[in-house]
Amino acid sequence: MRTGLLKVTIVAGLGALAGGCAAPGLSAADAARLQQLEDREQILELMTAYGNTLDRRDFAAFGRLFAEDAEYGSGPGATRGRAAIQAQLERTLTSNPAGLPAPNFHIFFNPSVRIDGDMATATSLGAYTAPDPAGGATRMVFFVSYQDTLVRQDGRWLFHKRVVGSSAPPALAR
């Protein structure tokens, strides 16, 4: 009988935590830590969705990753506004300027996220891959670095500013 009650209590407590509700007895410090973990996970999902939406060529979903007043790029050449960012990436990828064969994929790694209330900053690295035109394995086309400012709006994390730097992959040792 006691074992059954313990199982119900544990399952109910875990269910409350998973649903984003504070479980009875959860301290303020634990609730804050839980919120930080949830925020970090949502931001990592946002970063992953960036590449996934581009790989699927789902430009409408891509646009929804950005705040209405977002900025993409840096300096005078930055694109401003969700609709303009979406349109710019759609033009870039559908024109296939590098003549890259499909399918091509985005990879992201080494994220570092700092959260401060409803704002966050992040840095990460990435790579863009495509099939080798001569046949054979997939190859790295270029590496990228991301500098992000993120904002939580209506309970959802969005890119507020994304600066992308790129470079050629290092030459392979022979």
Average pLDDT (35-43) is 97
Q: Coil, strand or helix: which one is 24? A: coil
pLDDT in tens, 98-139: 555 667 788 999 999 999 999 999 999 999 888 877 777 888
The CATH architecture one would assign to domain 27-167 is Roll (3.10)
Dig out the tokens for 168 from the structure: 């050629």
Predicted model pTM: 0.78
Helix H or strand E encompassing 111: strand 105-116
Question: Is 172 a residue whose pLDDT tops 60?
Answer: no
Q: Which amino acid is at 23?
A: A
- Report which of residues 97 and 108 the model is more confident about: 108
Cβ-Cβ contacts under 8 Å for 140 (sequence gap 6 or more): 127, 128, 129, 169
pLDDT in tens, 140-163: 888 899 999 999 999 999 999 999
